[in-house]
Structure 1
Amino acid sequence: MTELTIAQEAPAAPEPTWEERYAGPSREICRRTLAELARRDPRIMCVDSDVGGLETLFADLPEQYVNVGIAEANLIGMAAGMAASGLVPFAHTLSGFAAARACEQIKVDVAGNDLPVRIIATHGGLSAGHYGPTHHAVDDIGILRLLPNLTVLVPADAVEAEAALIAAADHPGPVFLRLGRSETPLVHRSPVDFRIGRALTLADGDDVTLIATGPHPVLMARRAAETLAAEGIGARVLNMHTIKPLDEEAVLRAAAETGGIVTVEDHLVTGGLGGAVCEVVAARGGCPVRRIGVPDRFSDRVGGELDLLRHAGVTPERIAAEARLLTGAAV
């Protein structure tokens, strides 16, 4: 009898867990997502300023990848030309370089012409603080939210970053997507209903509102809300992932329904989320606002992001203390 060898199919690889799917820095999740989108849409262009790693992801898409080198002004100018020609460029650089070195090109070439350039800016806030003060990108939001037509997004984790990139791909105008450098804990444990210009409510409360933007500030706000809840203080937590256009409706509801607002950000206390919220409240709201962020001065400190945030006074304990002051429950 002839024995037949029956080839057995290899078992299918198990589906990754939620944590496995979103493991790693948000910037890596965005890069993989962009490569997947590019394989389905030949108009998508990856424009690189030699940030590293992108050339590998786009190795099978040579016609949709260009590396301009460390030349941020050229990066934005070329991306603007691509967008004017009907392409959908995603320009990659560091946040501090985009906001400072290439600000004129973003202003004149991109925002001034309302071109659909998507600027994927990493190392935002103090996430590259180990490189020193030259890489403290704590003024980027303040600079760029002043530009008409430019949408400014600051996702809170890798889940949100993926959703923000997909939303940006379909957005009709220019987008600045601010990401960090290293992996941060997940805020979301399920798919997120991400809509540009719509804040996400992470916790309900009627006593005080905590409005945060960016990974560590959002996590800190949630921790502060848990501390306050144990004291009988109901803190509403809003994840303001879109700085421009700001969700004014959510801000005004908070101003009307709670005793005050505390803003939290990995950015200078001037010009960023806190400034944007104060503009809305001063014009139409009428409740006290306390801003927590990086002090309005240059820093010569070198260190990790959390260390620098703590040194700046951006901590869950400070958030809770400011909230208590607004509710009259200071201890």
Structure 2
Amino acid sequence: MADVKRIATRASYGEALVELGAEHDDFVVFDADLAAATQTAKFKAAYPDRFFNAGIAESNLMGMAAGVATTGRVAFASTFAMFAAGRAFEQVRNSIGYPHLNVKIGATHAGISVGEDGATHQCNEDIALMRTIPGMTVVVPADDVEAKACVRAAYELDGPVYMRFGRLAAPVINDPETYEFKLGRGILMREGSDVTIVACGLMVSAALEAAEALAERGIDAEVINIHTIKPIDADIILKSAEKTGRVVTVEEHSVIGGLGDAAADVLVQNHPVPMKKIGVEDVFGYSGPALDLLHEFGLDAEGIIKKVAAFMA
């Protein structure tokens, strides 16, 4: 996929905010002194009167966003995933989730692909944390097209939303002319008959690449993009599992509490089938080039091919 256009979803987030700002004046954007990295600086430049920097105080950031949301406005709160889901968890839970406020959390720099920033910043637990908050919608877009669409959908939804964006440039796999985004609705990316690969975020493109290689080995893999982890599209997972009889989940997140567990909950209660979770095992990451780390952790096409082939055997 060397010739495929690549755009970091954090950049898509910043651009989507600017586009949305031109259409609506009822929302404000908050950041925690990371506007250049989260790409909210683009919104700040376009609409300085609707941008607020909370400083390096992420808990205050969430409290400020919650306060604005009580006035009837929509608030976007942005910082790194480690700080949004980790450091500010109590404020997200009690000040945003509990009163079910219209705060949209733009969490960037998630997962192993943060690279050189190392284990302290490679948040592989955020999906698990956000899934536990009642009423919280959790979205992990796969590419530029999907990321922009999810920002618009989050704005239109009444209630809190956690959006997970990446630092690493991701292959653009969706056609902006034909793509249709619906919260809570998975997308069939490739039909297959032998095994279902359910992926989210950066792993969707990797799963598609792996599926093509697996086909050469005689393994026909179906690939599903589950961009909305909560509420999860149970129907598309069950329909595919009934057809293939095997399910593999792939995520740039811990295998504990993320997409894999969400899919497992669906399957075990409705249609149990052999299943394997591919993700970050019960370990911390470490500093290194993003692509090298993804390979090291088996979160590239090569790693997926090996694990799916072994699972099928």
Q: Is the 8 A contact 2:43 2:51 kept in 1?
A: no
Q: Counterpart of 2:35 in structure 1: which amino acid?
A: G
3-state DSSP of counterpart to 2:105: strand
Separation in 1, partners of 2:228, 2:191: 19
Residue of structure 2 in register with 1:90 after alignment = 76
Q: Which runs of 5+ in 2 are unaligned?
A: none
Change beyond 3 A, Cα 1:230–1:55: closer
2:187 is aligned with 1:200: yes
Separation in 1, partners of 2:290, 2:188: 25
- Among candidates 9, 12, 33, match of residue 50 of structure 1: 33
3-state DSSP of counterpart to 1:292: strand
2:210 is aligned with 1:227: no
2:302 is aligned with 1:302: no
2:297 is aligned with 1:312: yes
Question: Identity, % of aligned pairs?
Answer: 41
Change beyond 3 A, Cα 1:280–1:60: closer
Separation in 1, partners of 2:113, 2:19: 26
Change beyond 3 A, Cα 1:112–1:232: same
Runs of 4+ in 1 over 4 A off after TM superposition: none
Q: Counterpart of 2:28 in structure 1: which amino acid?
A: M
Question: How far 1:190 moved relative to its partner?
Answer: 3.6
3-state DSSP of counterpart to 1:69: coil
2:278 is aligned with 1:292: yes
Q: Is the 8 A contact 2:15 2:42 kept in 1?
A: no
Separation in 2, partners of 1:280, 1:40: 38
Q: Counterpart of 1:31 in structure 2: which amino acid?
A: G
Q: Which runs of 5+ in 1 are unaligned?
A: 1-18
Question: How far 1:326 moved relative to its partner?
Answer: 4.7
Residue of structure 2 in register with 1:211 after alignment = 198
Separation in 1, partners of 2:114, 2:304: 23
Q: Counterpart of 1:197 in structure 2: which amino acid?
A: G
Q: Counterpart of 2:44 in structure 1: which amino acid?
A: F
Question: How far 1:63 moved relative to its partner?
Answer: 2.6
Q: Is the 8 A contact 1:260 1:326 kept in 2?
A: no
Question: How far 1:317 moved relative to its partner?
Answer: 3.1
Q: Which structure's CA Rg is the greater one?
A: 1
Question: How far 1:23 moved relative to its partner?
Answer: 6.1
Q: Counterpart of 2:8 in structure 1: which amino acid?
A: P
Q: Within 5 Å, which residues of 2 pair with 1:66-145?
A: 66-145=52-131
3-state DSSP of counterpart to 1:134: coil
Residues 94-143 of structure 1, C-alpha deviation per residue, up to 9 Å, x if partnerless?
00111111000110011111111000010011122211111111011111
- Among candidates 252, 258, 273, match of residue 272 of structure 1: 258
Larger RCO (CA within 8 A; separation ≥ 6): 2
Q: Is the 8 A contact 1:208 1:326 kept in 2?
A: no
Q: Is the 8 A contact 1:156 1:218 kept in 2?
A: yes
TM-score by length of 1: 0.88
Separation in 2, partners of 1:307, 1:164: 29
3-state DSSP of counterpart to 2:113: coil
Question: How far 1:298 moved relative to its partner?
Answer: 2.5
Separation in 1, partners of 2:102, 2:113: 27
Question: How far 1:189 moved relative to its partner?
Answer: 3.2
Separation in 2, partners of 1:318, 1:243: 23
Separation in 2, partners of 1:122, 1:103: 15
3-state DSSP of counterpart to 1:255: helix
TM-score by length of 2: 0.93
